[in-house]
Chains A and B, each alone.
Chain A
């Protein structure tokens, strides 16, 4: 039964880097006119959402803990980074660090709460945190610009390299690939096994020496770090943040991303982000007569995916391979 592992199974990092290089072709394709120029923005945004969704996947997929607060934390990091770079003139690196650190500390506090409450109650508690944050964005106009929003610029790396839309896009890919590699390393090792054990059976996990408190805190910390990183990238890529962006709808979209793409699947999360955020813009709007219904069509598409691929769209790869083998076999017979 022991199959020889191919290089991608042995070193998943190689796959992630190749994936990143492939994505890095997109701006060039856009310049060559093969792809619409606006797609760079769409795909860049999608990849940012994928980062936050990966964090939620660690929380829900691996650890079995739910959060409806992802958008709130992402928004907090976005506003912080905008304020720190624009108003306080701090270097991008410093504001990046602070804008990830502070939401993460709040995320860890939520993790503490998760020891006492579970399931739907935890969902509601995290939702409340996110709503409080969203209200704060509206009310603290001095720092956030209130309803009129807060703007930010493309970042300058190391005080030397001023990024533009294309280079910022490369930077997003760079961060995404790093996060994919780190996630893969962590989830396929001791930490991932412990989180899996915690989801499977808390009693068994404890009997095996897994400290539930520490591991819940780690899960919440990772989820918030990823969401915050996504928030910082967002505000410096979209260059604007409104309170209404960081709503429950966005948190629910993250939930949709990981369920459509595949729980506990890293590529699946990116695939899910494409389905939820990129497909309506890039494909469904191209269908004649249905331009205005693209989001309705996307809803239908999501329902179909869930019906046919309850384990996530990522398992479509298995079906395609099977079909391919059938076709090539069939072809061989005909010869």
Chain B
């Protein structure tokens, strides 16, 4: 597996079919360490399916998904149950922001620390010193992340009723809480206006640099993708169209045809 040395994720021959429909067909690509990688394609191209296969919400029919997790251990993602994916250092966000409205912002961020807690339920129920110390430690960590994202002043407010831009940041904070190796963002620009999208681009780059992780961006918004991605993989009808730098992708005839239609 020497070829994985500087790759965080290698997707090899990924295929999944729903009934007779091949949603993803023999797709291969890889993401390097510290890379911001874009996955694009027109509506129904299979972007979200790829994404759900990587995170094991779907079990692919065929293909290899190798991930370089914590401690540079190579793991085969397909052997892991969905709730164990995060333990490998792979975390995702949701297109429609999946937060818990009835909890405060900081408690939502702390959900990202779920797998890190070591104290068992009994010692938490009894609030033994170990459990208390642990809770305090992660609370401070969450506060630091919120401060980084500039929303620490809202930490005790309920998530319900917060503006959309803030919710996106809370979701970011929750993923950072897991100290990820790779963050997969599912259409993060959806529902944001132009200036918010520019902020988002800046934030994505800053997170990559500051938190030392790779980012896979599954996105519709071409400007965001072209602006932040190091490399892009374009797909259509579940098949690979092209892989390359933003410039190369923009110039690619097959990609243009898929997006604009052919005369």
Interface residues of A (CB under 8 A from B): 1-3, 13, 182, 185-186, 189-191, 193-194, 196-197, 199-201, 203-212, 218, 264
B238 to chain A minimum Cβ distance, whole angstroms, is 22
Given known pairs A1-B153, A2-B156, the reply for A191 and B121 (CB within 8 Å) is yes
Interface residues of B (CB under 8 A from A): 55, 57, 81-87, 91-92, 94, 98-103, 107, 110-115, 117, 119, 121, 124-127, 131, 135, 153-157, 174, 178
The 27 sampled A-B contact pairs (Cβ below 8 Å) are A1-B157, A2-B156, A182-B126, A185-B124, A190-B113, A190-B117, A190-B119, A193-B107, A193-B114, A196-B111, A200-B98, A200-B100, A200-B101, A200-B102, A203-B94, A204-B94, A207-B86, A207-B94, A208-B112, A208-B115, A209-B87, A209-B178, A210-B83, A210-B114, A211-B81, A211-B83, A218-B121
- A186–B124 Cα distance when bound, in Å, is 6
Whether B100 and A189, one on each chain, are in contact in the complex, defined by CB atoms closer than 8 angstroms, is no
Closest-by-CB residue of B relative to A198 is: B100
Given known pairs A2-B156, A185-B127, A212-B83, the reply for A196 and B100 (CB within 8 Å) is yes
B97 to chain A minimum Cβ distance, whole angstroms, is 9
Report chain B residues within 8 Å CB of A264: 102
Report chain A residues within 8 Å CB of B114: 190, 193-194, 197, 208-210
Whether A207 and B126, one on each chain, are in contact in the complex, defined by CB atoms closer than 8 angstroms, is no
Closest-by-CB residue of B relative to A197 is: B111
Report chain A residues within 8 Å CB of B55: 207
Q: Is the interface of A mostly helix, strand, loop or mixed?
A: helix
Most buried by B among A208, A210, A264: A208
Closest-by-CB residue of A relative to B97 is: A204
Whether B103 and A204, one on each chain, are in contact in the complex, defined by CB atoms closer than 8 angstroms, is no
Partner pick for A193 among B81, B91, B103, B155, CB 8 A cutoff: B103
Closest 8 CB pairs of A and B: A204-B98, A200-B100, A209-B115, A201-B98, A209-B86, A189-B124, A182-B125, A190-B117
Whether B83 and A206, one on each chain, are in contact in the complex, defined by CB atoms closer than 8 angstroms, is yes
A222 to chain B minimum Cβ distance, whole angstroms, is 9
Closest-by-CB residue of A relative to B159 is: A200
Whether B86 and A208, one on each chain, are in contact in the complex, defined by CB atoms closer than 8 angstroms, is yes
- A316–B245 Cα distance when bound, in Å, is 60
A29 to chain B minimum Cβ distance, whole angstroms, is 33
Most buried by B among A197, A211, A212: A197
B171 to chain A minimum Cβ distance, whole angstroms, is 9
- A199–B98 Cα distance when bound, in Å, is 11
- List 11 other contacts, CB 8 Å, given A1-B156, A210-B83: A1-B157, A190-B119, A196-B102, A197-B114, A203-B57, A205-B111, A206-B82, A207-B55, A208-B111, A208-B115, A218-B121
A149 to chain B minimum Cβ distance, whole angstroms, is 35
- A206–B57 Cα distance when bound, in Å, is 9
A213 to chain B minimum Cβ distance, whole angstroms, is 9
Report chain A residues within 8 Å CB of B119: 190
- A148–B27 Cα distance when bound, in Å, is 71
Given known pairs A196-B100, A203-B94, the reply for A190 and B83 (CB within 8 Å) is no
Report chain A residues within 8 Å CB of B178: 208-209
Partner pick for B111 among A1, A3, A194, CB 8 A cutoff: A194
Closest-by-CB residue of B relative to A196 is: B100
Closest-by-CB residue of A relative to B134 is: A190
B126 to chain A minimum Cβ distance, whole angstroms, is 7
Report chain B residues within 8 Å CB of A203: 57, 94, 98
Report chain A residues within 8 Å CB of B100: 196-197, 199-201
Partner pick for B84 among A2, A13, A199, A209, CB 8 A cutoff: A209
